[in-house]
Amino acid sequence: MDAAPQRVVSLNLCADQLVLRLLPKARIASVTWLAREEGSSTVADLAQGIPTNQGLAEEALGTDPDFVVSGMYTTRGAVDFLKRQGRPVLDLGVPESFAETRAQIAQLAGVLGVSEAGQTLISEMGAQLAAHPPPPLSERPKAMMLGPNGFATSYGPLVDEMMERAGLINLAGELGGHGRASIPLEVAILGGVDILVVDTGERSGPALALEVLDHPAVRALKREVEVVALPSKLWTCAGPQLADAVAILASAAARHNAKARP
């Protein structure tokens, strides 16, 4: 049996967040610079003190890695070069469900020789999700995720499942927002949305929520629309942080239902 890798380099932010959760610092040679950024990473604290890279092959080779983790659609030039140099590389795909997310964690943990740590992550994620069981379908508020441009999309099956697990009905699908089709806020309001989830990143935040509440469509219809800020770093990468996103959305659904009860 091959020895577990001891000098691991990550060339992708989503990979960073799994590697940093699974391995001790002594076994991580480098992660991307984004791993240290609070606005982008859910493990910025774990990344402190670890060398960073910008996805370049030269940087990776400079650390003499015995294993490289990358994303299937990022840093392709660097990955191809590293493979030609005989460095083992694992390209992580993009999970489209919670089941695929768990499978990816288990796969990476197995390759890194830390299967037990992987199962611990999976179990913790499962326990957090179990703490927020969704209400019956008849009690689920209608919600949409709103981008910084004021339009909504479905954002794909992983986000759809995230909202479903939180006890929300994703109105984007009902209004034709499959894939990346954009839906104006006015259409969402007329469609009966109860909760608007603001896609917050580094350059957006509470100010956007206030703008949404002041939108003419909201004021004209005098609708009680709740706006929930959800940091995009919790759902743009598949991983244990999805459970944190579900918890935020589940709390919003519970608040709405409490207000709606006579």
Q: How far apart are CA 69 and CA 140, in angstroms?
A: 39
Long-range contacts of 184-192 (CB under 8 A, 24+ apart): 184/150, 184/151, 185/146, 185/150, 185/151, 185/152, 185/212, 185/215, 185/217, 186/217, 188/144, 188/146, 188/152, 189/215, 189/217, 189/218, 189/221, 189/223, 189/225, 190/217, 190/221, 191/142, 192/142
pLDDT for the residue 211: 63
Q: What is the pTM of this model?
A: 0.88
Give percent helix, percent strand, percent coil of the chain, each to the nearest 5.
50, 15, 35
Q: At what angle do helices 115-130 and 13-22 cross, to 10 degrees?
A: 100
The DSSP call for residue 208 is H
Lowest mean pLDDT across 116-120, 151-155, 176-180, 195-199: 176-180
- Determine the average pLDDT of the residues in 96-124: 97
How many C-beta atoms surround the C-beta of residue 111 within 10 A? 18
- Residue 163, pLDDT above cutoff 60: yes
Average model confidence (pLDDT) across the chain: 87
- Residue 3, pLDDT above cutoff 90: no
Q: How far apart are CA 151 and CA 135, in angstroms?
A: 27
How many C-beta atoms surround the C-beta of residue 8 within 10 A? 24
Work out the pLDDT band at 151, boundaries 50, 70, 90: low
Lowest mean pLDDT across 57-71, 98-112, 191-205, 231-245: 191-205
Q: At what angle do helices 115-130 and 98-112 cross, to 10 degrees?
A: 160
List the domains of the chain with CATH numbers: 8-129 (3.40.50.1980), 137-260 (3.40.50.1980)
Whether residue 4 contacts residue 112, with contact meaning beta carbons closer than 8 Å, is answered with yes
pLDDT for the residue 1: 44
Better-predicted residue by pLDDT, 213 or 61: 61
- Determine the average pLDDT of the residues in 69-82: 90
Query: What is the CB-side half-sphere exposure of residue 261 using CA atoms within 13 A?
Result: 6
- Determine the average pLDDT of the residues in 37-43: 94
Q: How far apart are CA 170 and CA 95, in angstroms?
A: 19
Work out the pLDDT band at 220, boundaries 50, 70, 90: low
Q: How far apart are CA 193 and CA 171, in angstroms?
A: 7
- Residue 10, pLDDT above cutoff 90: yes
Q: What would the pLDDT profile of 181-207 be if each residue is shown by its tens digit?
A: 577 777 777 778 899 888 766 544 455
Q: How far apart are CA 162 and CA 242, in angstroms?
A: 7
- Determine the average pLDDT of the residues in 206-225: 58
Better-predicted residue by pLDDT, 224 or 29: 29
pLDDT for the residue 185: 74
Work out the pLDDT band at 212, boundaries 50, 70, 90: low
Q: Give the type of residue at 41.
A: S
In the three-class reduction of DSSP (H, G, I as helix; E, B as strand; rest coil), residue 231 is classed as strand
